[in-house]
A and B are shown apart, each in its own frame.
Chain A
Amino acid sequence: MIVNYRCFNFFFPYLGLLGFRYSRAATVASPCGGHHYVTAPSAKPPQPQAGDVTEKILNQPLEKADFFRVAELFSLKDLFDARVHLGHKKGCRHRLMEPYLYGCRLDHDIINLDQTMEHLQLALNFTAHIAYRGGIILFVSRRRQFGHLVETTAKDCGEYAHTRYWQGGLLTNANIQYGPGVRLPDLIIFLSTLNNVFQQHVGIRDAAKMNIPTVGVVDSNCNPSLVTYPVPGNDDTPAAVELYCRLFKMTINRAKDRRKQMELIHGLSAPTSQIS
């Protein structure tokens, strides 16, 4: 190794020791997180094993497209029966929602349920993955009609809800509002993206500012641009909102159960205390 060092310095004198030191570190680095061990091979620390198992648990769902089989939870007929396709009147239409509309009948906008199916499947899949990884999910809706329903849904999932007046700095000024070291939500689900005065909910903009992905049910009068996973659909009918709540609840519970299953399966081969 010493001979190599001299030759290296001869050919690349401007690199200096620093460059060589880095490259040396690269060659010697063990696959277990950069620890430099000079011990006998028998004395292996148990930590890397738990890390492997956790990585396996986290990476396995990413191999399949629909690992949690969320597409089975709903069908087009369910959406139609829940009147998800009914949008607002033509005058209320938002320009950016035009691609998602099937058409307009007697001045009423009809949302394209095929597109809704795809978007809803993507959104549920994403929610399932977030819930699988133990992320914080926040349900937001400013519809007073469905506030209690949304809060109950969140409570049943073991996640969080905010159906009240949105104070300005809840996401952007979190350390002062809640206390230092607070953990922000990892996903925000908007069951209605408008607030009580038919303006876009402040949470959409704040989540975009704080790099928090959002899932939002966008009606024909909403702006879908800032929402990460928009789901074009009706947000006014009780049947539709109950359907969404039920779907999200089932997805999240399914993902959490799956996580527990995976931990149990892999936990048999490694000590359970190490796994988070």
Chain B
Amino acid sequence: MALYFTPLVSRLSGCHRGNFTRNCGSCYRACTLDFTSVLSQGASRSGDGSTSQTDRWLGDRDRGRLVLRGASVTSPAAARRPAASSGQPSQQARSLWQQLPRQLPPRTSPLSAKMAASCVRTVGSFLGKCMTCSSSINTVATQVLLSRQVCVSSALCRKNLAAAGPEKFTLEYIQKQVEEYEIGKRHLANMMGEDPENFTQEDIDRSITYLFPSGLFEKTARPLMKHPDEIFPKQRAVQWGADGRPFHFLFYTGKQSYYSLMHDLYGKILKIEKHQDRLRAKGLFSQDAQLISLGPSRWLTKEELELLLVETISTHDYDRFIKLMEHMLCMPYSSTEEEFVQRYRRLLEAQSLKQLVPLLEKDENGVAFSTAEGRRKTSDSSVILRDCGSGHITVNGQDYLQYFPVLQDREQLMFPLQFMGVLGRFNLECKVSGGGRSSQAGALRLAISRALLSFLSEGDGEAMRQAGLLTPDPRVRERKKPGQEGARRKFTWKKR
């Protein structure tokens, strides 16, 4: 079962100054202490037989992402390492540390085994003493340490990572991940005592939050178990066959999907023009015939188009695509290509449909009333709107004139009713707590607008939404930051 942990700080990130050169005498001792102490821990722990602990330190350090495995102990980084160092990193660490005098990896061919043994001991005893060391031992020790695949400082890794570009996963690797995910899903279902056959993604998420409770605020940093297709970005398979001939006829342009789309689009435009010419020749052409009815929809965004094409395109390319589409839509007989166009449009959800209208109830006297709540900053309010016809307003048991002495607050309270023209019709019974006078007034205003929705028609509700009465105000107090006097205000800058 594969679980993925997102970035954690790793102890093995090389020396604190980021370099691991032999000339770095000051931090050399600190670096190696860290390394050797961890390895000794690893060696002692791996004596217990559990590989998971060591693996945690020796996993995907370079990206900060650690992979915790049950049975199999391979990580993507280990899979990508050269064959000489493949296999379980912990075992290798154990073997290198303990067997170093006897077996050295072939890279250290200038050293004999005996010399290596003396080196290891020298290094071990050396660390307890002062830092001054001869350059030869230093070189040898550095070489010995560098030859171990286990700990490589970030200074050595950094250059390679930059040039490699985005990480590429082979098809076999992804398939293996998918198999492991399926097996892991069944194990998880067994663990939770549920049916392995009908274990959905929601069940998986629930089980993971139960088994690995995390207090992290960042949702993307929490443990997750999802299908590898959702985790690994979509990549292109090899574009050519066994004889080397590419499959797509626009392969050599570099952006085959995008240019193929443009080619098809232009082909459709030519087809429509030919159709128009034929109709004109017959005399059946009419200007206002059959424009495409698109409905409430929008064009695909650039990101969505990139996902569709599995290719990166520039903003210029995207603009040209949209322009060509618009050009096609302007032509009179474009309805013949409606299905093609709809593939590149997304429906807009009407915002007003999302409003939850509170229920209209009737109390003992037969008076219709509705309840709604509202929030603003740190104030919470709840309002009961009664269709009495008197226009009395009570806030926390007090009269509104008494509770809100300032005109501005009372205006805020009245605005929804005044906007709809129902000033004298309703009785308001309000409860509000928290915050200051202005935020309490704002919370009450939102609650009143929401309660009013149940008494009004759809059109009036839409008008209220457009006026901004139904939008909760998202502004809250910004926290003060360290090193500054307030949220934004910095300390006075002094030249001297």
Task: State yes or no: do A and B come from one complex.
Answer: yes
Residues of A at the B interface (CB closer than 8 Å) are 134, 136, 138, 148, 151-152, 154-155, 158-162, 164, 167, 170, 177-179, 182-183, 185, 276
B420 adjacent to chain A (CB < 8 Å): no
Q: Knowing A148-B263, A148-B267, A151-B263 are in contact, say whether A164-B243 is a contact too (CB < 8 A).
A: no
Render B259-284 as a binary contact track against A, CB cut-off 8 A, 1 for contact.
10001001100100000000000000
- Across the interface, B250 reaches (CB within 8 A) one of A136, A160, A177, A185, namely A160
* Contact A160/B251 with A136-B245, A148-B266, A151-B263 known, Cβ cut-off 8 Å: yes
- When A148-B263, A151-B263 are in contact, do A161 and B240 touch as well, CB less than 8 Å? no
The 8 A CB mask of B230-253 against A (1 = contact, 0 = none) is 000000001110011110011111
Kindly state the separation between the CA atoms of A82 and B432 in the bound complex, as whole angstroms: 87
In the complex, how many angstroms separate the beta carbon of A187 from the nearest chain B beta carbon?
A: 12
Q: List 7 A-B contacts (CB under 8 A).
A: A148-B267, A160-B246, A160-B251, A160-B252, A161-B249, A162-B250, A276-B243
Chain B residue with minimal CB distance to A157? B249
- In the complex, B474 has a CB within 8 A of chain A: no
Minimal beta-carbon separation of A163 from chain B (angstroms): 8
**Is B253 touching A162 in the complex (CB atoms < 8 A)?**
yes
Residues of the A chain whose Cβ atoms lie less than 8 Å from the Cβ of B249: 151, 154-155, 158-161
Contact of A170 among B239, B254, B267 (CB under 8 A): B254
Q: Determine the distance from Cα of A136 to Cα of B253 in the docked complex, in whole angstroms.
A: 14
What is the CA–CA distance of A178 and B245 in the complex, to the nearest angstrom?
13
B259: chain A residues within 8 A (beta carbon): 164
A151 near B238: Cβ-Cβ < 8 Å: no
B238 touches A179 (CB 8 A): yes
Q: Do B250 and A182 touch across chains, with their CB atoms under 8 A apart?
A: no
- Once the chains are docked, how many angstroms separate the CA of A178 from the CA of B256? 11
State whether A183 touches B240 (Cβ < 8 A): yes
Q: What A residues does B250 contact at CB under 8 A? A: 151, 160-162
Report Cα–Cα, A151/B263, bound state, in Å. Answer: 8
Main secondary structure of the interface of A (DSSP, over half): loop
Closest B residue to A164 using CB positions: B253
Complex contacts, A162 vs chain B, CB 8 Å: 250, 252-253
Partner of A185, one of B238, B252, B254, B255: B252
Q: Are B253 and A178 touching (Cβ within 8 A)?
A: no
User: Quick one: closest B residue to A135, CB to CB?
Assistant: B245
Residues in chain B near residue A158, CB distance under 8 A: 249
A12, chain B: closest CB distance, angstroms: 41
Residue with the greatest number of chain A CB neighbours at <10 A, chosen from B245, B249, B250: B249
Contact of B243 (CB < 8 Å), options: A134, A177, A182: A134
Question: What is the chain B residue whose CB lies nearest that of A184?
Answer: B252
Cβ–Cβ < 8 Å partners of A185 in chain B: 252
Specify which of A138, A158, A159, A160 lies most central, judged by the most chain B CB atoms within 10 Å of its CB.
Answer: A160
Q: How far does the alpha carbon of A185 sit from the alpha carbon of B252 in the complex, in Å?
A: 9
Chain A residues with CB below 8 A from B252, complex form: 138, 160, 162, 170, 185
User: What are the residues of chain A within 8 A of B266 when measuring CB–CB?
Assistant: 148
A140 to chain B, nearest CB (A): 9
Residue contact A148 to B244, C-beta cutoff 8 Å: no
Most chain A CB within a 10 A radius of its CB, from B253, B267, B270: B253
When chains A and B are docked, how far (Å) is the Cα of A159 from the Cα of B248? 9
Residues from chain B with a CB closer than 8 A to the CB of A179 are 238-239
Interface set, chain B 19-39, CB cutoff 8 A to A:
none
Within the complex, the shortest CB–CB distance from B293 to chain A, in Å, comes to 28
Contacts of B270 in A (CB 8 A): 148
Q: Determine how close the nearest CB of chain A comes to the CB of B300; give it in whole angstroms.
A: 21
Q: Which residues of B contact A177 (CB under 8 A)?
A: 254
**Chain A, residue nearest B259 (CB):** A164
- What residues of A have a CB within 8 angstroms of the CB of B245 in the complex? 134, 136, 183
C-alpha spacing A148/B264, complex, angstroms: 9
Docked CA distance A170–B244 (Å): 16
CB distance from B261 to the nearest CB of A (A): 12
User: Which of B240, B254, B267 is within 8 Å of A167, CB to CB?
Assistant: B254
Inter-chain contacts of A167 with B (CB < 8 A): 254
Those 4 A-B pairs whose CB atoms lie nearest each other, nearest first: A183-B244, A155-B249, A164-B253, A162-B252
Closest residue to A148 on the B side, CB-wise? B266
Which residues on B sit within 8 Å (CB–CB) of A138?
252
What A residues does B255 contact at CB under 8 A? 164
Q: Which residues of B contact A160 (CB under 8 A)?
A: 246, 249-252
| Extra pairs beyond A155-B249, A185-B252 (4, CB < 8 Å) | A136-B245, A162-B253, A178-B251, A178-B254
Closest to A177 in B: B254
Residues of B within 8 A of A151 (CB): 249-250, 263
Min CB gap A110→B, angstroms: 33
Expressed in whole angstroms, the Cα–Cα distance for A179 and B240 within the complex equals 10
Complex Cα distance, B263 from A179, in Å, reads 24
Residues of the A chain whose Cβ atoms lie less than 8 Å from the Cβ of B243: 134, 276
Across the interface, which residues of B come within 8 angstroms of A161, CB to CB?
249-250
B252 to chain A, nearest CB (A): 5
Of A138, A152, A164, chain B has the most CB atoms within 10 Å of the CB of: A164
A178 CA / B240 CA spacing, docked (Å): 10
Docked CA distance A162–B246 (Å): 13
B244, B266, B267 — most chain A CB neighbours (10 Å): B244
Scoring A162, A167, A170, A177 by chain B CB atoms within 10 A of each residue's CB, the highest score goes to A162
Instruction: Report the bound CA distance from A164 to B313 in whole Å.
Output: 14
From B236, which residue of chain A is reached at the shortest CB distance? Answer: A179
